[in-house]
Amino acid sequence: MSNDNFPLSRDELLRAYRTMKTIREFEERVHVEFATGDLPGFVHLYAGEEAAATGIMMHLGPNDHIASTHRGHGHCIAKGVDVKGMFAELYGRATGTCRGKGGSMHIADLDMGMMGANGILGAGAPLVCGAALASKYKKDGGVAVSFVGDGASNAGNFLESLNLAAVWDLPAIFVVENNAYAQSTSRDYAVAVDSYVDRAAGFGLPGVTVDGTDFFAVHEAAGEMIARARKGGGPSLLECSMIRFYGHFEGDAQTYRAAGEVEELRANRDCLTRFAQQVAQAGVLEQADLDSVDREVAALIDEGVAEAQQAPHPSEDQVLTDVYVSY
Binding residues vs other proteins (CB under 8 A): 65, 67, 96-102, 106, 108-111, 115-116, 118-120, 123, 125-131, 133-135, 137-138, 144, 156-157, 160-161, 163-164, 167-168, 321-327
Q: How far is the CB of 143 from other proteins (least distance, A)?
A: 12
Q: How far is the CB of 62 from other proteins (least distance, A)?
A: 12
**DSSP labels, 148-161:** EETTGGGSHHHHHH
- Complex with other proteins: residue 55 or 124, whichever CB lies closer: 124
- Complex with other proteins: residue 140 or 286, whichever CB lies closer: 140
Q: How far is the CB of 79 from other proteins (least distance, A)?
A: 14
Nearest-angstrom CA–CA distance, 149 and 190: 12
- Complex with other proteins: residue 37 or 156, whichever CB lies closer: 156
Identity of residue 258:
A
In which order are the strands placed within the sheet that holds 144-149?
65-67, 144-149, 172-178, 236-241, 207-211
Residues 6+ apart with CB under 8 A from 223: 59
Q: How far is the CB of 57 from other proteins (least distance, A)?
A: 18
Q: Smallest Cα–Cα separation from 54: which of 104, 86, 18?
A: 18
Q: How far is the CB of 237 from other proteins (least distance, A)?
A: 15
Q: How far is the CB of 45 from other proteins (least distance, A)?
A: 20
Number of other residues whose CB lies within 10 A of the CB of residue 11: 8
- Complex with other proteins: residue 189 or 324, whichever CB lies closer: 324
Q: Smallest Cα–Cα separation from 178: which of 231, 220, 237?
A: 237
- Complex with other proteins: residue 78 or 131, whichever CB lies closer: 131
C-alpha radius of gyration, the chain, whole number: 19
Q: How far is the CB of 71 from other proteins (least distance, A)?
A: 17
**DSSP labels, 24-77:** HHHHHHHHHHHHTT-S-S-----TT-HHHHHHHHTT--TT-EEE--SS-HHHHH
- Complex with other proteins: residue 157 or 254, whichever CB lies closer: 157
- Complex with other proteins: residue 163 or 254, whichever CB lies closer: 163
